[in-house]
A and B are shown apart, each in its own frame.
Chain A
Amino acid sequence: MSGSGIPAVPHDLPEVPLSSTDTRANRTGSWRHVRPVIAEKAAPCHKACLLHAPIPQVMTALARGDIPAAGASLLNHNPFPAITARVCPHPCQVGCNRGRYDEPINIRAVERFLGDALLHRKGAPPDVSTGRRVAVVGSGPAGLAAAFYLRARGHDVTIYEREAEPGGMLRDAIPAYRLPAEILDAEIEGLRRMGVVFRCGVEIGSDMPLADLLAAHDVVFAATGAHGERGLGAPGEEHLTRGLEFLRGVRRGEITSASGTVAVVGGGNVAIDVARTLVRLGARAVVLYRRTRKEMPAIEEEVEHAIADGVTFEFLTLPVVAERVDGHLRLTLVTMQLGEPDRSGRRRPVPVPGSEHSFECDGAIAAIGEVAETKFLPKEVLDEQGWARADKATGATAEGWLYLGGDLITGPATVSEAIAWGRRAALAIDRRLRGEPPAAPERLLPTVSIKGINLDYFRRAPRTVQPALPVETRRLTFEEEIGGIDLVQAMEEAARCFVCGTCTVCANCWAFCPDAAIELGAEDAIPRVTLDYCKGCGICVVECPRGIIALVDEAKVEVRA
């Protein structure tokens, strides 16, 4: 080169412009006036789930094919996913943030895969035994769930069931096309493997007084459901079969066919189950409901399936008289109109004067509401109307040894709600048996909305759909109508999950932080902000794919601290 006389370079000058000191010498945290706070939040699915199952954690584990970890997370909140995957209306899917991006996660399909995968694997006896004994009265979903969690915590559990076989509504009411008997049998077999004792054919109250259970048990949890059926309350009501009685007859093989036109009175889940069952037995089902479709308490999807099956609906219609005429049944119907809202918030149906008309059919079934039977309970736990009363968070009653739950308290509700009652009661009973004070009620974290999700990190992907029998086939059979998905499909569907509000330690915050102010801890630990260096730029807040990091005004943080 032409250059000559190049001056000497200072001897301490580095060869390249790389700082000679660790950049940690520059405490850029002093520039900060806002700070990122890393705190996990609730996903909308978790909040909407009747069992508050940790759906994001389940999806994270399953997405990497870790069935044991996914199963452990799920079973901690839902002991019977193979059942709920089939019968729960899955409110979790409604609010799924992914639904505002492409399509919601098919949580039901994933739950079904996991439930079926675990079905024959779970059921190990507990590692320890407390020697404490709990009697569970009723083997419906609430009782079975309570037994599961109590036994898992080392208590001896005996279930008393009035019928010859356990399961309650799961066995006797929900039709086989929704819940095959072998699924329920496998779940019960799992409880038996855990060491839960079943005593069937024993009705507490008539065969054995409730108080006698106390002699052999420390605590009694009663969840006997709502099996009493309301009648029509109209002349000729004896001509109508009761809905639950009909469903039970079909499931037990006592009723094998139906024909002609059968009216189904009611708009709840029992009414829809009855109507769809009638179609499968060969009859034409007409649902008579006194309000409109909007007010029907039945699971919306089941109503859609019923319509596809060929069930017809007459809304704003109430039978006021039933009479036998020439081997037929004649119902006198009144047309209704909706008035002011009642206590349930639904508009009360009121008759339209002079609207009576007759409806000819071959039979009719009333499914207009089920009520709990409370005669066997001590009057200390009943209110003035004779309804059973218990603490919503624990199932505890005025009698310390007696806990109640499920439809017995709530009236007819979903299987998932009953399971939730059973779980809450089991956890409360466990604390009581250990001499611990009742736990503080579980508080849900704030929810992450779609605005908290950084959609740049998620590829559009179609929702996995469960296989289903074609309508023309399914309406002729009691075979299960919805099928399952395989492991690959389940992993793909789980991988679609945004994992809203739960840190997956993706380390984006670490990678993007210009001040190396994010500290990664152990493998699963949520990253921490090193305040000495965080200058509050907020890049981590934006780059967090799942809305866990929030920017908080520094002054407010200090005041709170």
Chain B
Amino acid sequence: MTIAWTESRVLTGNEAVAEGVCLARVQTIAAYPITPQTQIVERLAEMVARGELAARFVNVESEHSAMAACFAAAAVGARTFTATSSQGLALMHEMLHWTAGARLPIVMANVNRALAPPWSVWADHTDALSQRDTGWMQVYAESNQEVLDSILLAYAVSERVLLPTMVNLDGFLLSHTAEPVEVYAGHRVDLFLPDFEAPYRLRPGEPRAFGGLADPGRYLEFRLRLQQAMARAAGVIEEEGARFAVAFGRGYGLLHAEMMEDAETVLMVVGSMATTARAAIAQLRREGRRVGLLRVRVMRPFPFGAIRRALRGARRVAVLDRNLSPGHHGILHAEVKSALFSEPARPSVSGYVLGLGGRDVRPEDIAGIVADVERREGGEDLIWWGTGAPPSEIPVPAERREALA
């Protein structure tokens, strides 16, 4: 008899989420289906129905209820999971504050999808980033392997710092695209991620209130506690990532730097776009261009220190945002600039908004951006990329021309 330590399987991102949840021996799942996340819920429901996963699957009528049910399950100490996307995440918004404020280590998979209107089901990070101030940690995966690994890591980190984690994967680009994924044997995962012993939990015989009234003399301190937990989480993510590398041979951190040794131009990306960027930059380096790649894996806690250290020596930075804060800029761009403000010597920073609503980002786009940013020595905050024409030349309906002038 041989013991299989790892099984290599071809999985979509959604399937990788479900396998990760199963390996984590999650005890309660409350979720509501939504494209492109639905297969996660379906697969988990099947696993529970077949007895492969000894969890309680709670059917709910909305995402708000899903997160409310997760709150209750986590409050009694159960390892808890949910999954959603876009509009569903937006509907959860209130409960995201509740669960983070109550310091419940819930893990959620969010399949990144654009928000309507206009209606769209394709990849876009604005859904997750508009929840960035709720107190949830945010991880963005590049590959389906990282999706599975990030679910396991999310529980390891969340249960130490008592904060919830949102694991993000790009709609369709990861959720519906199959690629080889190593699925670990359960006993190995059990060693890495043992059963959760919640330090604070509700016991029916000893009723306590979660999230009761805090007067003005205390509320501020509770927010401070939340901030301290986030600060601690940055280190814990690195520690658990290193522990994961020892256990499974793959490491994860806050920020992944590649080809940065002598880089003058640095591209900063999030999620699956990193794979495209890596291929394009490798080609540029073969042509002698000094270009580097920084993938921001964790958006909350925001890796200020890691970004500052990584960018020392760079001349210019192009931040690629698959999101938009209307009336401001791309969100990562703004945050990178805020991280660099206190630095005595700073690279110029240009912000590119691209790929919204699932528009394809090709290797040519990456090469084009590198050429573009190298022409902008002072930096430019908002560059629309891939619109086919400069913003001023996007046609306006004739009858509204005067009003829109």
Q: A13-B221, A15-B162, A16-B200 are in contact. Are A3 and B207 (CB under 8 A)?
A: no
The contact of B231 among A1, A9, A17, by CB within 8 Å, is A1
CB-CB under 8 A for A2 and B224, given A15-B103, A18-B208, A22-B208: no
B59 to chain A, nearest CB (A): 13
The reply to whether the CB of A7 lies closer than 8 angstroms to some CB of chain B is: yes
CB-based contact A3/B225 at 8 Å: no
Q: Does B197 contact A (CB under 8 A)?
A: no
Q: Which residues of A contact B231 (CB under 8 A)?
A: 1, 3
Contact with A along B209-230 (1 / 0, CB 8 A): 1111010001001101101101
Q: Pick the contact of B207 from A10, A17, A516 — CB < 8 Å?
A: A516
Assess whether A18 is in contact with B210, with CB atoms less than 8 Å apart: yes
A9 and B207 contact, CB distance less than 8 A: no
Known interface pairs A9-B221, A9-B225, A15-B103; A1-B304 also in contact (CB < 8 Å): yes
> Whole-angstrom distance from the CB of B165 to the nearest CB of chain A?
16
Which residues of A have CB within 8 Å of B206?
22
State whether A16 and B208 are in contact (beta carbons under 8 Å apart), knowing that A1-B231, A3-B231, A6-B228 are contacts in the complex. no
CB of B208 within 8 A of CB of A19, answer yes
The verdict on A120 contacting chain B, using a C-beta distance below 8 Å, is no
Q: How far is the CA of A16 from the CA of B339 in the complex (A)?
A: 29
Q: A residues within 8 A CB of B339?
A: 2
On whether A10 and B209 interact (CB within 8 A), knowing A1-B234, A16-B200, A17-B102, the answer reads no
Q: Mark B181-212, 1 if CB is under 8 A from A, else 0.
A: 00000000000000000011000101111111
A122 to chain B, nearest CB (A): 40
Within the complex, the shortest CB–CB distance from B94 to chain A, in Å, comes to 16
Say yes or no for A355: interface residue by CB 8 A criterion.
no
Per-position contact with A for B28-39: 1 when CB-CB < 8 Å, else 0? 000000000000
Whether the pair B162, A13 counts as a contact (CB closer than 8 A) is no
**Alpha-carbon gap, A160 to B335, bound state (A):** 101
B79-105 CB contact bits vs A (8 Å, 1 = yes)?
000000000000000000000011100
Q: List B contacts of A16 (CB < 8 A).
A: 102-103, 162, 200, 210, 225
| B212 and A17 within 8 A (CB) | yes
Given the interface pairs A1-B230, A16-B103, A17-B214, the reply to whether A6 lies near B224 with Cβ below 8 Å is yes
B301 touches A7 (CB 8 A): no
**Are A9 and B212 in contact (CB-based, < 8 A)?**
no
Residues on the A chain within 8 Å of B224, using CB? 6-7, 9
Bound-state CA distance A13–B103 (Å) is 14
Specify which of B200, B208, B221 is in contact with A10 (CB 8 Å cutoff). Answer: B221
Query: What chain A residues lie within 8 Å of B8 (beta carbons)?
Result: none
Interface size on A, residues (CB 8 A): 18
Q: Do A19 and B212 touch across chains, with their CB atoms under 8 A apart?
A: yes
Question: With A6-B228, A9-B224 in contact, is A17–B210 under 8 Å at CB?
Answer: yes
Q: Count the A-B residue pairs with Cβ separation under 8 angstroms: how many?
A: 64
- Rounded to whole angstroms, the CA-CA distance of A16 and B227 in the bound complex is 12
Q: What string of 1s and 0s marks CB contacts (under 8 Å) between A14-45 and chain B?
A: 01111101111000000000000000000000
Residues of B within 8 A of A18 (CB): 102, 200, 208-210
Contact B230 A17 (CB under 8 A): no
Q: Which residues of A contact B228 (CB under 8 A)?
A: 6, 9
State A257–B224 Cα separation when bound (angstroms): 98
| Residue B342, interface by CB 8 Å | yes
Contacts of A23 in B (CB 8 A): 207-209
**B228 and chain A: residue at smallest CB distance:** A6
Contact status B230-A13, CB under 8 Å: no
One of A1, A17, A24, A516 near B301 (C-beta < 8 A):
A1
Kindly report which residue of chain A lies nearest to residue B231, judged by CB atoms.
Answer: A1
Interface residues of B in 223-267 (CB under 8 A from A): 224-225, 227-228, 230-231, 234
Knowing A2-B304, A6-B224, A9-B225, the reply to whether A17 touches B101 (Cβ < 8 A) is: yes
A13 engages B207 (CB within 8 Å): no
Bound together, the chains give a CA A16 to CA B228 distance in angstroms of 12
Q: Which residues of the other chain, A, contact B212 by a CB distance below 8 angstroms?
A: 17, 19
CB nearest neighbor in A for B210: A18
Bound: A62/B231 CA distance, A: 59
Return chain B residues, CB-CB under 8 Å to A19.
208-210, 212
A367→B204 CA distance, assembly (Å):
68
Contacts of B342 in A (CB 8 A): 2
Choose among A3, A10, A15, A17 the residue that contacts B227 (Cβ–Cβ < 8 A).
Answer: A3
**Distance (whole angstroms) from the CB of B184 to the closest CB of chain A:** 31
Q: What is the CA–CA distance of A313 and B379 in the complex, to the nearest angstrom?
A: 102
Bound-state CA distance A111–B231 (Å) is 68
List of A residues within 8 angstroms of B162 by Cβ: 15-16
A15 to B224, CA, bound (A): 10
Chain B stretch 326-348: residues in CB contact (< 8 A) with chain A: 339, 342
* Residue in chain A with minimal CB distance to B218: A13
Q: Give the chain B neighbours of A21 by CB distance below 8 A.
A: 208
Contacts of B101 in A (CB 8 A): 17
- Chain A to chain B: the 9 pairs with minimum beta-carbon distance, closest first: A16-B103, A19-B209, A23-B207, A1-B231, A516-B207, A19-B208, A23-B209, A13-B221, A18-B200
Residues of chain A at the chain B interface (Cβ within 8 Å): 1-3, 6-7, 9-10, 13, 15-19, 21-24, 516
- 11 further contact pairs, Cβ within 8 A, besides A15-B225, A18-B208, A516-B207: A9-B228, A10-B221, A13-B218, A15-B199, A16-B210, A17-B103, A18-B102, A18-B209, A19-B208, A19-B209, A23-B209
Q: Pick 23 A–B contacts, CB within 8 A, sort by A.
A: A1-B234, A1-B301, A1-B304, A2-B339, A7-B224, A10-B218, A13-B222, A15-B103, A15-B162, A15-B200, A16-B102, A16-B103, A16-B210, A16-B225, A17-B103, A17-B212, A18-B102, A18-B209, A19-B208, A19-B210, A21-B208, A22-B208, A23-B209
